[in-house]
């Protein structure tokens, strides 16, 4: 046993586990409220209150576990001379957010390690958090939606899922989440004869919506199988807050990002350095943050798309005939460029907003012909490849309305949507004798270059990872 954490916090346990530290979690069962009231009455500083609470937790568990490192942690929120913990009711959360709105508060994260009932190390981190102003209606909506998670966090705003609530953050991600992992790892490395531990890197996929994303499951599997210290999470960012929230996350130490609908084109514009393929496509799906906080942008969608088709349909020949591409967003640009590079002689492009399709065609190639959304079915007899790059047909989205009854039965049909795994488009195409390829393979293959750029190891795409992602 490397470490006992005197906490049942799932977030803290996950942070420790992603460093490959062997841990056991034990609830310290101390009366935090009574201790806090006593310390406040003694006019203790917020820093000392957090530190004392962490120490009480570590000490109580250490007494019962001699010879083992025991980590105690505590986090409190300080604002306008008051201490705020976890909200007890939705009404209390509403009141807290009303006070924090548009203001800067401090999150104080204390970490104490005991061994043989004696303190051997302590560390306190202070993060400054500035919230955007929130209207009464916005606060009420947030409380109604977020209460199940918010009630378990100091201040009640659950930063992991809501960084867009903040205009500025001065603090490290893991400190904000309640555990100062880097100094903890440094201490353990100095006091253990086992293999050297590494501080975890954090990468996130950003989109709106994002709850359907399979990327965290995929990347966490690769992290585990390659014994890499790191984590990968999904964050939903509203389009109007994308730029500011990306800056907040970079400032908090996030090492890289995948970017999906609807942020891909904006992500490219924000980058400091761009790959040739991202530049050509006009959108980015992979961001790597360098040591100076600069954004390096790439687009691996085309690579993932072509690799997926070739691996699942050996007889597919892109040069055999035109392709019909539905949608003109960031993913569509990548697919069009990759199809042209693979030898497709012509692209028919259709989008609900036709001007957007015309813009894409004018920017990429003169052999792209824009066809109206209402008449897209007329081209199905002419093409050898059909690609849906829209989110239509995705779980929670409107259906993709298209009659493919007259499709060339020799065509390959593929859908970038992977939730559900087999979309209505693919089901219908299969009944008509077409070859079909789902979007999950593209997700897996496009993730390979990004994972290698962030973590330094090139992962393997195989049946095991596909089964894990689709389960």
Active-site amino acid positions: 264
Which residues lie across from 236 on neighbouring strands? 207
Beta strand pairing call for 104-115 and 82-84: unpaired
Contact 250, 293 (CB under 8 A): yes
Which has the closest alpha carbon to 6: 113, 125, 161, 123?
A: 113
CA distances to 224, 268, 273, 364 from 277, rounded to whole Å, are: 30, 11, 12, 12
Q: What residues have CB less than 8 Å from 174, skipping those under 6 apart?
A: 15, 180, 181, 182, 200, 202, 253
Beta strand pairing call for 273-274 and 230-236: unpaired
323-326 sheet: strands from edge to edge: 368-370, 347-350, 323-326, 385-388, 412-415, 435-437
CA distances to 6, 308, 448 from 416, rounded to whole Å, are: 45, 11, 17
How far is Cα of residue 387 from the mean position of the Cα atoms in its chain? 26
Q: Which residue has tokens 């806090």?
A: 36
Quote the DSSP letter at residue 469.
H
**Overall size of the chain counted in residues:** 471
CA distances to 155, 170, 173 from 49, rounded to whole Å, are: 16, 21, 22
In the three-class reduction of DSSP (H, G, I as helix; E, B as strand; rest coil), residue 404 is classed as coil
């Amino acid at each position: 046993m490397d470490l006992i954490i005197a906490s049942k916090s799932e977030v803290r346990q996950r942070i420790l586990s992603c460093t490959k530290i062997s841990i056991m979690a034990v609830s310290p069962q101390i009366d935090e409220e009574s201790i806090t009231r006593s310390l406040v009455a003694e006019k203790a500083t917020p820093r000392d209150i957090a530190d004392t609470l962490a120490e009480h937790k570590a000490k109580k568990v250490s007494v019962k576990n001699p010879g083992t490192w025991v980590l105690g942690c505590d986090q409190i929120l300080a604002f306008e001379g008051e201490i705020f913990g976890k909200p007890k009711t939705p009404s209390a959360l509403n009141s807290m957010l009303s006070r924090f709105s548009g203001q800067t508060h401090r999150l104080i994260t204390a970490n104490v390690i005991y061994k043989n009932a004696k303190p051997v190390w302590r560390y306190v981190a202070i993060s400054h958090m500035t919230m955007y102003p929130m209207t009464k209606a916005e606060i009420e909506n947030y409380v109604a939606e977020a209460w199940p998670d918010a009630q378990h966090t100091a201040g009640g705003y659950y930063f992991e899922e809501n960084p867009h609530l903040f205009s500025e953050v001065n603090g490290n991600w893991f400190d904000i989440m309640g555990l100062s992992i880097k100094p903890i790892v440094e201490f353990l490395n100095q006091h253990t004869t086992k293999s050297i531990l590494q501080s975890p890197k954090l990468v996130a996929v950003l989109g709106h919506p994002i709850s359907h994303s399979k990327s965290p499951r995929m990347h966490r599997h690769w992290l585990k199988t390659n014994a890499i210290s790191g984590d990968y999470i999904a964050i939903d960012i509203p389009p109007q807050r994308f730029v500011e929230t990306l800056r907040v996350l970079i400032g908090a130490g996030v090492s890289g990002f995948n970017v999906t609908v609807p942020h891909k084109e904006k992500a490219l514009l924000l980058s400091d350095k761009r790959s040739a393929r991202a530049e050509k496509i006009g959108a980015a799906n992979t961001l790597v943050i360098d040591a100076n906080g600069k954004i390096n942008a790439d687009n691996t969608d085309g690579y993932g798309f072509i690799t997926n088709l070739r691996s699942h349909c050996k007889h597919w020949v892109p040069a055999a005939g035109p392709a019909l591409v539905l949608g003109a967003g960031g993913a569509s640009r990548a697919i069009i460029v990759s199809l042209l590079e693979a030898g497709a002689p012509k692209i028919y492009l259709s989008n609900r907003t036709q001007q957007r399709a015309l813009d894409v065609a004018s920017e990429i190639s003169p052999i792209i012909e824009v066809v109206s959304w209402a008449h897209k079915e007329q081209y199905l007899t002419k093409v050898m490849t059909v690609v849906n790059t829209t989110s239509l047909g995705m779980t929670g989205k409107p259906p993709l309305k298209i009659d493919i009854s007259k499709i060339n039965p020799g065509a390959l049909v593929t859908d970038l949507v992977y939730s559900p795994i087999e979309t209505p488009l693919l089901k219908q195409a299969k009944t008509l004798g077409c070859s079909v390829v789902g979007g999950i393979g593209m997700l897996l293959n496009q993730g390979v270059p990004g994972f290698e750029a962030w973590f330094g190891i090139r992962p393997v795409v195989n049946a095991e990872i596909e089964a894990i992602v689709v389960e």
